[in-house]
Amino acid sequence: MKPDIKIFKDPDGLSHAAAKMFIESSSQAIAQRGRFLVVLSGGSTPNQLYQLLASTPFRDQIDWSKVHVFWGDERCVPIDDPDNSYYQARLVLLDLVNLPADNVHRIQSDFEPASAALDYARTLKVFSAPPLDWPRFDLVLLGMGDDGHTASLFPGSPVNASKPVIAITAQYQNRPAKRVTLTPLVFNSARRIIFLVTGATKAVTLTEVLSDVSNMNLLPAQRIQPTDGELLWLMDEAAAGKL
């Protein structure tokens, strides 16, 4: 299925559009199912979106009491480490909205990675949509590295993971190597997946990922193909520069 690509002048325009989509997804999920299950992404790109969601008018358009927050991946560092994705989201969003603490489902990054992966699979099971052992997330937010990775699915990592959550060790920029990540099994059962990609450094890889040439082993972002959901790619003009 051809992905739906939306190009914005700059990260600010992209973040405002993403905030409106977040609100739309939350309102629809809460109206239909009484709750909104959302997967946040780490990395720097979503920060402006998170800041918008924590500010007026966006904050007041979400019923935070019915929102449950999860992560697509996590770096195995302490929860007060600036590299921790949960920590980053707390600073710019979670601590600034009326989200019940019990609705924050972080990956136990202080556990050994393999234990954290097992623990998170148990958390997903609590919210599962039988016959799946995990939820059909209403919205998944993802970024893309300039190497084509997404979440912590890196080039060369196992393609057909049979588990919903796995432990990974990978080097990327100066970020923590030991990680836990959801696998395409979980991502691809989501109702809506939105990639947020900005910056010229990603332009070449973005062209490769979005081409008709499948190369999932080298370009893990290509593994994100929702089975019965919507896939949106939001990018700024810099990232779209080679499309």
The binding site for ligand 6PG (CB under 6 A) comprises: 41-45, 72-73, 85, 143-145, 149-152, 175
Residue 175 Cβ vs ligand 6PG, minimum distance, rounded to whole Å: 6
Residue 95 Cβ vs ligand 6PG, minimum distance, rounded to whole Å: 19
Nearest-CB residue for ligand 6PG = 143
Identify which of residues 35 and 116 has a Cβ nearer to ligand 6PG in the complex.
Answer: 116
Residue 172 Cβ vs ligand 6PG, minimum distance, rounded to whole Å: 6
User: What secondary structure letter does DSSP report for 68?
Assistant: E
Identify which of residues 150 and 189 has a Cβ nearer to ligand 6PG in the complex.
Answer: 150
Strands 36-40 and 139-142: parallel
Helix (H, G, I), strand (E, B) or coil at 88: helix
The string of DSSP codes covering 123-189 is HHHHT--TTSSS---SEEEE---TTS-BTTB-TTS-SS--SSEEEEE---TTS-SEEEEE-HHHHTT
Amino acid code (one letter) for 98: N
For 42, the token pair is: 């780490």
Residue 85 Cβ vs ligand 6PG, minimum distance, rounded to whole Å: 5
Identify which of residues 27 and 172 has a Cβ nearer to ligand 6PG in the complex.
Answer: 172
Identify which of residues 85 and 222 has a Cβ nearer to ligand 6PG in the complex.
Answer: 85
Identify which of residues 35 and 149 has a Cβ nearer to ligand 6PG in the complex.
Answer: 149
For 88, the token pair is: 């980053």
* Neighbour order of strands in the sheet with 178-182: 73-75, 178-182, 165-169
Q: Which helix (H) or strand (E) holds 42?
A: none
Residue 180 Cβ vs ligand 6PG, minimum distance, rounded to whole Å: 10
Q: What is the dihedral of CA 160, 166, 170, 173, to 10 degrees?
A: 110
Identify which of residues 14 and 62 has a Cβ nearer to ligand 6PG in the complex.
Answer: 14
Residue 98 Cβ vs ligand 6PG, minimum distance, rounded to whole Å: 26
